[in-house]
Structure 1
Amino acid sequence: MRKQAKNVRETALELLEAIEKNQSYSNLLLHHAIEKNHLPAKDIGLLTELTYGTLQRKMTLDYYLQPFLKKGKKIENWVLQLLRLAVYQMVYLDKIPDRAAIFEAVEIAKKRGHKGIAAMVNGVLRSMQRQGLPSVEKVADPLVRLSLETSHPEWLIRRWAEQFGFEKTKEMAEVNLTAPTQTARVNTAKTTRQECLDRLEAEGYIVEKSPIIPVAIRSLKGNLAASAVFKEGLITIQDESSMLVAYALGAEENETILDACAAPGGKSTHIAEKMQNTGKVVALDLHEHKVKLINDNASRLGLINIQPLTMDSKKGSEQFERESFDRILLDAPCSGLGVMRRKPDMKYTKKENDLFQLSKIQIELLTAVAPLLKKGGVLVYSTCTVDQQENENVVASFLKENPEFAGDLQFKNRMPEAIQPLIHGFDLQIFPQDFSSDGFYIACLRKKV
């Protein structure tokens, strides 16, 4: 038993090191580690909890550790990661006794380092156990305190508080520390939601209808990507916020649609399903390997009305005639601040200047695709972020420079009933705490006739 549990902790330690060193996405590395080590199901849960939990709480863990580390003495990165991992278990995991967390950390320290490191790890953790944690309440500035409590960089907390107020920021930062629920979209071109629920329950999954999206299901237990229902192309793994984009676009049968930044194809395939496999969805992406993902998704779902192309959307006018698309979706590259629950490492790698740089790219992309839209057509701009510079400000700047476009006030009528109260005018900012989905922004514009 102990050997297996130790292996999980060692794997978690290696993952934490790799994520910090290479600034790699935690979700991709975790998936690779699970496959490579052939971990049993019970260990997958613990590995995920240890890796994500320690990443999610990194700033808080460092605050707790600080008084117990010798000032001015540099410790190797792997030792710091090991201490964070142990403290995370001691503070946040009720099922793991402190003595087990400390013992395992000391054993790994012996194996990876030498007796001196093992003694230091043991000393720090036992001192912490005896003396208790330093209180975050001692921090006077409420924004700095919230930053430490929720492990969000101070610049981001200050920015959000300025844009959305303290309470909304606090709610968002706290929700970002929780695990997201897996959701899937039913392929209505092939089946119904009830049939999917029945089939998944027969396979042993615990699932329920989404109260937000009429074609969505939530998994309370089990990874839906491993189900026969997924393999048969009856569902697509997609967050509920992301599903709202196809509703906003409102594509109708036999129309010609442009999805300008389409990979991996979740939104393209949803639009294609809504069109009942008629018309054409031209799905662009800059990278060939990502275009392959769109192709793979379309063929798994049995969709024949998607045309994936490897192409820079900024050069769309070189490839397509002006006013040749009925509707255009630009799901723009963004800071991703709305998906931090899925990629907790993102909190520590993003810089405030990134948002400014991205907003310039977003405006360029909008300006590039706008001439391709027919008069009277709908242009949807969406991001998976929560920031006014990348969202409202980009749209306002675009409308100012492109008077032939206006906000589409019919937007609300196309959206699922549960979402309508959140919409005022022609755009929508979804916060992660609104219905426990990703943070997301959608704006609907119409080209004047």
Structure 2
Amino acid sequence: MREKKNIKLDIVNLLDEIQNGKYSNIQMNYYFSQNEYSKKEREFITNIINVTLKNLIFVDYILGQTVRNIQKRKIKQLLRISVAQILFMDSDNAGVVYEAGEISKIINKHQTGFVNATLQAIIKNKEEIINAIPEDKKEGIVNSYPQWFVNKLKTDYPDDYLAMMKAYKERSYLSVRYNSKKLSKEDFEKILSEIKSEVLFSADEVHYLSNGNILTTEEYKRGDIIIQDASSYIAVKNLDVSEKDTVLDACAAPGGKSLVILQTFSPKLLLATDIHEHKIEVMKKMKERYGYDNFEIKLNDAANIENLNMKFDRILLDVPCSGLGVLRKKPEKIYNLTSDDIKNLKKLQKKIFDSAYSCLNDDGIILYSTCTFTENENTNNLKYFLEKYDDLKVVEIEVPENVIISKDEFGGTYISYKNQYLDGFYIAKLKKAKK
């Protein structure tokens, strides 16, 4: 087993890569695939990264009240994870300071005194610093959300905003479904028993597990067990695809929802498109793996579906969005988001929907979904769709009884923050009238 100080150095490097644009869950999985960490080491890395990212604004505030300038980027990451341990983890503070000093010698030996002095000052003064946070900024700083976002959430959800902020800082859980054409329920339960995993919660065909041991199984490696969140699965199930339908998954990458369509229904044709060439290549590999003859993949901008020169009976629009509903999995997203981003996304979402409508057959269905909870991207968009297209009608969706939802005034469905396990999601099913 490698020395713990080198694991801590890996954590510093990992946090630095996430801060430079990598998704935390993807990058952690990459590190785990490239290094022979023990289960305990993987848990240690995951815990520190998640605690640091979910509390980054608070951590940076404490640092900012202690030192004026941290010149070395990786020293800043080292201080961040050390402060997160001091504030939020059951750590021995003296041990945290010692370990940070040892790692600083590897990163930049001239910074060791600075690291030690900074952490000692924080341990001594943290309560005074916290008590002095201005009241008008306290909710944002303590819960680690940008102030513009706190203000926005207060407007959209005046009664629930604080509970929502706290809920999306909770831990996430790995969720999977199994291909029932390949595995039986008994097969799945036997696998879980052998790898010492428990089902914590199930919604329809998706199961939330107590650990990630399923990722080491042959069944997962050959694609019979698939990572899936129940929210996106519920959305796709409500497409109600028949064997005669031509279906479009317009923003399809990385392909998980396309796979649900193929494994749940038997469409005449499923066409999956995406604007990014590298993501198209990922989906092509998925097609090779599963071998569906009724599955085609094309490079296309979802804002220009007309370029496909086709009409569709069912269109899945899981549109680009702010992604706030997946903050439990990707806590870093909130720190790079601005209010202008949401305005621009709303415009793009409208453009994609307009294009989809023009390519929808009479009596066809558009399933509009996002993994976010802002009214601008959801309820306000649905209002726009219904006002612009008077031949569209919202159709009620089916949701498992154990999933908590709320409805907006136009019939759209929010997968609530009150669900401990599911991603936050919005689903609107719209049917085009026959002429």
CA contact (8 A) 1:338 1:439 kept: yes
Shift of 1:325: 1.8
Tell me which of 116, 119, 124 is aligned to 2:113.
119
Shift of 1:158: 1.0
Tell me, yes or no, if structure 1 residue 242 matches structure 2 residue 235: no
Q: Which runs of 5+ in 1 are unaligned?
A: none
Query: Kindly tell me: are residues 328 and 76 of structure 1, through their superposed partners in 2, closer, same or farther at Cα, counting changes over 3 Å?
Result: same
Quick one: distance in 1 between partners of 2:321 and 2:162? 22
Count of residues in correspondence between the two structures: 433
Tell me which of 170, 180, 194 is aligned to 1:188.
180
What residue is the counterpart of 1:399 in the other structure?
386
Superposition TM-score, scaled by structure 2 size: 0.92
Aligned AA for 1:314? A
Quick one: distance in 2 between partners of 1:53 and 1:121? 20
Q: Which runs of 5+ in 2 are unaligned?
A: none
Post-superposition Cα deviations, 1:216-264, rounded to whole Å, max 9, x if no partner, equal: 1121022433322212332210111111111221223342211111111
Query: Kindly tell me: are residues 348 and 278 of structure 1, through their superposed partners in 2, closer, same or farther at Cα, counting changes over 3 Å?
Result: closer
Superposition TM-score, scaled by structure 1 size: 0.89
What residue is the counterpart of 2:139 in the other structure?
146
Query: Kindly tell me: are residues 133 and 209 of structure 1, through their superposed partners in 2, closer, same or farther at Cα, counting changes over 3 Å?
Result: closer
Tell me, yes or no, if structure 1 residue 160 matches structure 2 residue 156: no
Tell me, yes or no, if structure 1 residue 15 matches structure 2 residue 7: no
What residue is the counterpart of 1:418 in the other structure?
402
Aligned positions of 1:342-353 closer than 5 A: 342-353=329-340
Quick one: distance in 1 between partners of 2:109 and 2:220? 48
Tell me which of 298, 308, 313 is aligned to 1:309.
298
Shift of 1:18: 2.6
Query: Kindly tell me: are residues 292 and 200 of structure 1, through their superposed partners in 2, closer, same or farther at Cα, counting changes over 3 Å?
Result: farther
Secondary structure of the residue that 2:242 maps to in structure 1? coil
Aligned AA for 1:177? K
Quick one: distance in 1 between partners of 2:275 and 2:427? 22
Shift of 1:353: 0.1
What residue is the counterpart of 2:89 in the other structure?
93
Quick one: distance in 2 between partners of 1:165 and 1:156? 13
Tell me, yes or no, if structure 1 residue 341 matches structure 2 residue 328: yes
Shift of 1:128: 2.7
Shift of 1:25: 2.1
Secondary structure of the residue that 1:257 maps to in structure 2? strand
CA contact (8 A) 1:232 1:301 kept: no
Tell me which of 212, 218, 222 is aligned to 1:232.
222
Shift of 1:135: 5.6
Aligned positions of 1:16-415 closer than 5 A: 16-20=15-19, 22-69=20-67, 71=68, 73=69, 75-94=71-90, 96-115=91-110, 117-134=111-128, 136=130, 138-139=132-133, 141=135, 144-166=137-159, 168-202=160-194, 204-208=195-199, 210-211=201-202, 213-275=203-265, 277-301=266-290, 303-321=292-310, 324-408=311-395, 411-412=396-397, 414-415=398-399
Quick one: distance in 2 between partners of 1:307 and 1:193? 30
C-alpha RMSD over aligned residues: 2.3
Query: Kindly tell me: are residues 418 and 263 of structure 1, through their superposed partners in 2, closer, same or farther at Cα, counting changes over 3 Å?
Result: same
Greater mean alpha carbon deviation, residues 232-241 or residues 298-307: 298-307
